[in-house]
Chains A and B, each alone.
Chain A
Amino acid sequence: MATGWRRRRRHLGTEADRATFRTLHTASLASPALREGLTAGSAERSSKHLRQLLGAPAIALTDTAGLLAWDGSGRHHAEQTFALAKATVEGGATRVADRDELACIVASCQVRNAVVSPLVVDDRIVGTLQVFTDGATAGLVRAADEVAQWVSGQLELAELDASRTRLMEAEVRALRAQISPHFIYNSLGAIASFVRTDPDRARDLLLEFADFTRYSFRRHGEFTTLAEELRSVERYLLLEQARFGDRLAVTLRIAPEVLPVAVPFLCIQPLVENAVRHGLAGQGSGHITIVARDSDQSCVIEVEDDGAGEDPEKVRRALAGERASDGSDDSIGLGNVDARLRATFGDEYGLVVETAPGAGTKVIVRVPKFAPGVHA
């Protein structure tokens, strides 16, 4: 037993190796919090690991507006952190503060000096790392500088994550704004044509139109229920049918069990718009089928048209996010929906498109009934 232990310890390398491992491990403990960006919460969680990394009696993390977290002894110095941060932000480099700046009334206080390093993201100082000690050595200054740079790196990664999310949100916003002007003109035109002949229907259609736009321009919430999404699809189809009349036939088969499933906002509607456009292209009349059914732990939604179909290669490129070679933006909606489904539920939940020229198009969406963090 004892020899086994010793052998395993030897296997882990020399004392210096182990110190390196410990340091790396401590750093890895601090990084998840920092990857969320610089907030009071993330600073609170990472500060104790950072202090361990530096071996100092106390450290503080600030942003440019004030203290975020203090870890260690001498908490009565917390009020002075803002002044220290300000000096470093103005100076732009690591500086050492001495006892004059750290007026103290507690005799046993270990805080005599402070090393204040800036945290830099995209060439901009977003905060400071302040290391408090009873005597600042050149080594500590160097260590504080290195740790501050490592923290800056983590914060930059956080910024990258955030910008990726922002991009996704911007795409949703674009999708909202993408409600085609043609659809609005045509709907209003169709409604106008009913105003004299069938005023009641015109009034109903106008109300549907109002509800449809209210839903599509909704600002809050990344997710919605399938019921809400389908209700909007239903309004859209009512308006299109007012325009096309008998030329547009629609069949809907919805299993009531899947209506409460949470789905990304506007993930079905673009598919239906595509289906209407493709279904009516060519022969001038078309049949759209929308099916939502229960499939064990997931829910399957199929949008099918019997229209002209599409070149599979073109669809593949649209799903890969490339512009079509002829510049048409037919399938932008597809690519966007696909990307958002994958980002939300994982790569196995991407869109499936079955199509061929002349054979119609069928788009299949599969969403899990429950995914952690996804709720309408």
Chain B
Amino acid sequence: MNGSAPSVVAVVLVTVATLAIGTWGLRFSRTTSDFFVASRTVRPALNASAIGGEYLSAASFLGVAGLVLVFGADMLWYPVGWTAGYLVLLVLVAAPLRRSGAYTLPDFAEARLASPRVRAASSLLVVAIGWLYLLPQFQGAGLVMEAAIGAPQWLGAVVVAVVVLVNVISGGMRSITFVQAFQYWLKLTALLIPAIVLLGVWVGDGAPNPADAAGGGDEGSLWSLPLGSGGAEGLYLTYSLIVATFLGTMGLPHVVVRFYTNPDGRAARRTTMVVLGLLGIFYLLPPVYGALGRVYGGDARPDVLVLELPQLMVPGTGGDLLAALVTAGAFAAFLSTSSGLSIAVAGVVSQDVFGRARLPGITAFRLGAVVAVAVPGLLALAAPNVGVARAVGLAFAVAASTFCPLLVLGIWWRGLTDVGALAGMAVGFLGSGTGVVYALGNEQTLGWGAALLGQPAAWSVPLAFATMVVVSRATRGRVPPHVLRFMVRLHTPEAVALDRG
């Protein structure tokens, strides 16, 4: 299975295409005759595809199928949560966030609370979450390179890190909407076409029930039960996962940046609606691979099941070509997500760290990019064995425990103060951060201690909310004087004629 030529070609093609688009971009010129600014505003459908392209990471592309294969239906909560996170975003955050005019989460914090210290804390968190999210992307790339061409695991991580770095530094891939939108459809195609073929093979074999198959992982009845195994602890783990993924989406640094591209709050809501649909379609596919893997993929490794399954089910050239397509999709997943995240992190690092040092803008940004990519790259080399989907789950837990309370209370509660926000974010970060350190250091073990630490969101999120409310109440005098005016601006539709100054 190793070293198949089509897969090599696919990886090279995707890498070269990404570099080429990054370098030359969509720099076509237009003359006034066919140029209309209005026609160039980013439509919700296009922006939603771009969000999908940036959002669907290695965890979605590779991790979910492997988790479903091993742990069964309870792992479906990952894709459900990653999609439903946008529902929460739609209801609570999307339109007001766009109306706030904030470009990044630190911007929002500064505008809402008028405090440079909250801004600095938010910047630190953006960097922490970004690194935690980048880590599994690089690891996943290593796994794919190993599976596709038999290269050592570190090579894939290095290749992706270098490609992303070159792209970001050369000024390409600046979250260009078209490129990211294209990446979504590439990823969807790369999973959809092989899935259709494989389902055909499965039906041809008489459609055996995956739950009855003797594949790896849990027993049949346990496999198809959508709850974590292990009684009360399993239930806790499931709920904690739901809390983390439902509430974590809004705190991801590269998602907020995309919402800025919407012309107004209404468009932001429509975009989120379309994102929900696009993600819903995409996330139907990885579980299909997981279930088929239980029937056919007896000896496939869970994390690269998606890549190996086509060759296991369709021997010969057909399987090789399908595998190449999936490999290309996986590489697109790493590159687009890592680029978006690296740019978000590099922006924060260059503005809030190197910008202070009075470095010129471009130098600061390049240094920021190096830091943004190098740290998770080295971590990926140092700790190569954290499950891809689990590490992303931890990033969501940190985001849900810090930025979710900040955004939700900041948008919907007048009483939030800077001290309250700082305290809440600190408590949430310490709580979820302890879990991250524990999970990165230990393999999953049993017992309540491991469950509470390994999946901290169910207690760290309420704790962060409570701290923010209590401390804000205690420091009532520090409510910023402009809060009412800011609230009016957040919640009044743009169509209403009103002085927002």
Cβ of B218 within 8 Å of any chain A Cβ, yes or no, is no
Cβ of A164 within 8 Å of any chain B Cβ, yes or no, is no
Most buried by A among B29, B32, B501: B32
- What residues of chain B lie closer than 8 Å to A109, measured between beta carbons? none
Using A220-B499, A238-B32 as known contacts, list a sample of 10 further A-B pairs with CB atoms less than 8 Å apart, ordered by residue number in A: A227-B41, A231-B37, A234-B37, A252-B31, A255-B176, A257-B175, A259-B40, A296-B346, A370-B103, A372-B111
The answer to whether A296 touches B350, judged by C-beta atoms less than 8 angstroms apart, is: yes
In the complex, A252→B35 CA distance in Å? 7
In the complex, A251→B31 CA distance in Å? 5
Given known A234-B37, A259-B40, A369-B103, contact A251–B262 (CB-CB < 8 A): no
- What residues of chain B lie closer than 8 Å to A255, measured between beta carbons? 176
User: In the complex, which residues 335-366 of chain B have their Cβ closer than 8 Å to any Cβ of chain A?
Assistant: 343, 346-347, 350-351, 361, 365
Q: Which residues of B contact A (CB under 8 A)?
A: 27-32, 35-38, 40-42, 101-104, 107, 110-111, 114, 171, 174-177, 260-263, 343, 346-347, 350-351, 361, 365, 489, 499-501
Q: Is the interface of A mostly helix, strand, loop or mixed?
A: mixed
* Chain A to chain B: the 3 pairs with minimum beta-carbon distance, closest first: A370-B103, A369-B103, A370-B107
- What residues of chain A lie closer than 8 Å to B40, measured between beta carbons? 254, 256, 259
- What residues of chain B lie closer than 8 Å to A227, measured between beta carbons? 37-38, 41, 263
Cβ of A237 within 8 Å of any chain B Cβ, yes or no, is yes
- What residues of chain A lie closer than 8 Å to B101, measured between beta carbons? 262, 370, 374-376
User: In the complex, which residues 291-332 of chain A have their Cβ closer than 8 Å to any Cβ of chain B?
Assistant: 294-298
- What residues of chain A lie closer than 8 Å to B30, measured between beta carbons? 251-253
- What residues of chain A lie closer than 8 Å to B31, measured between beta carbons? 249-252
In the complex, A298→B347 CA distance in Å? 10
The answer to whether A256 touches B343, judged by C-beta atoms less than 8 angstroms apart, is: no
Could you give, for residues 216-233 of chain A, a 1 whenever the CB lies within 8 Å of some chain B CB and a 0 otherwise?
000011100101001100
Give the Cβ gap from A278 to chain B, nearest Cβ, in Å: 18
User: In the complex, which residues 338-376 of chain A have their Cβ closer than 8 Å to any Cβ of chain B?
Assistant: 369-370, 372, 374-376
In the complex, A254→B176 CA distance in Å? 12
Residue of B nearest to A221 (CB): B501
In the complex, A298→B360 CA distance in Å? 13
In the complex, A101→B208 CA distance in Å? 100
In the complex, A251→B114 CA distance in Å? 41
Contact of B343 among A251, A262, A296, A370 (CB under 8 A): A296
Give the Cβ gap from B276 to chain A, nearest Cβ, in Å: 22
Give the Cβ gap from A311 to chain B, nearest Cβ, in Å: 27
Residue of A nearest to B50 (CB): A257
- What residues of chain A lie closer than 8 Å to B500, measured between beta carbons? 375
Cβ of A260 within 8 Å of any chain B Cβ, yes or no, is yes
- What residues of chain A lie closer than 8 Å to B171, measured between beta carbons? 295
Most buried by A among B37, B41, B102: B37
In the complex, A234→B27 CA distance in Å? 19
Give the Cβ gap from A235 to chain B, nearest Cβ, in Å: 10
Most buried by A among B361, B365, B499: B361
A sample of 27 inter-chain contacts (CB < 8 A) reads: A231-B37, A234-B32, A234-B37, A237-B32, A238-B32, A249-B31, A251-B31, A252-B32, A252-B35, A254-B40, A255-B176, A256-B40, A257-B175, A257-B177, A260-B263, A262-B101, A295-B174, A296-B346, A296-B365, A297-B347, A298-B361, A369-B103, A370-B101, A370-B104, A370-B107, A375-B101, A375-B500
In the complex, A222→B501 CA distance in Å? 9
- What residues of chain A lie closer than 8 Å to B263, measured between beta carbons? 225, 227, 259-260
Give the Cβ gap from B366 to chain A, nearest Cβ, in Å: 11
Residue of B nearest to A293 (CB): B174
Given known A252-B35, A260-B260, contact A372–B103 (CB-CB < 8 A): no
- What residues of chain A lie closer than 8 Å to B174, measured between beta carbons? 257, 294-296
- What residues of chain B lie closer than 8 Å to A225, measured between beta carbons? 263
Give the Cβ gap from A365 to chain B, nearest Cβ, in Å: 14
- What residues of chain A lie closer than 8 Å to B176, measured between beta carbons? 255, 257, 294
The answer to whether A259 touches B36, judged by C-beta atoms less than 8 angstroms apart, is: no
- What residues of chain B lie closer than 8 Å to A285, measured between beta carbons? none
Cβ of A241 within 8 Å of any chain B Cβ, yes or no, is yes
The answer to whether A297 touches B177, judged by C-beta atoms less than 8 angstroms apart, is: no
Give the Cβ gap from B245 to chain A, nearest Cβ, in Å: 28
Residue of B nearest to A249 (CB): B31
- What residues of chain A lie closer than 8 Å to B27, measured between beta carbons? 253
In the complex, A255→B25 CA distance in Å? 11
The answer to whether B37 touches A370, judged by C-beta atoms less than 8 angstroms apart, is: no
- What residues of chain B lie closer than 8 Å to A294, measured between beta carbons? 174-176
The answer to whether A230 touches B350, judged by C-beta atoms less than 8 angstroms apart, is: no
The answer to whether A254 touches B37, judged by C-beta atoms less than 8 angstroms apart, is: yes
Most buried by A among B261, B347, B351: B261
In the complex, A255→B171 CA distance in Å? 14
Residue of A nearest to B32 (CB): A250
Residue of A nearest to B108 (CB): A370
The answer to whether A257 touches B41, judged by C-beta atoms less than 8 angstroms apart, is: no
Given known A253-B27, A372-B110, contact A260–B261 (CB-CB < 8 A): yes
- What residues of chain B lie closer than 8 Å to A370, measured between beta carbons? 101-104, 107, 111
Give the Cβ gap from B339 to chain A, nearest Cβ, in Å: 13
- What residues of chain B lie closer than 8 Å to A251, measured between beta carbons? 29-31
Give the Cβ gap from B353 to chain A, nearest Cβ, in Å: 13
Given known A296-B350, A375-B500, contact A257–B103 (CB-CB < 8 A): no
The answer to whether A296 touches B347, judged by C-beta atoms less than 8 angstroms apart, is: yes
In the complex, A297→B103 CA distance in Å? 8
Residue of A nearest to B41 (CB): A259
User: In the complex, which residues 248-273 of chain A have their Cβ closer than 8 Å to any Cβ of chain B?
Assistant: 249-257, 259-260, 262
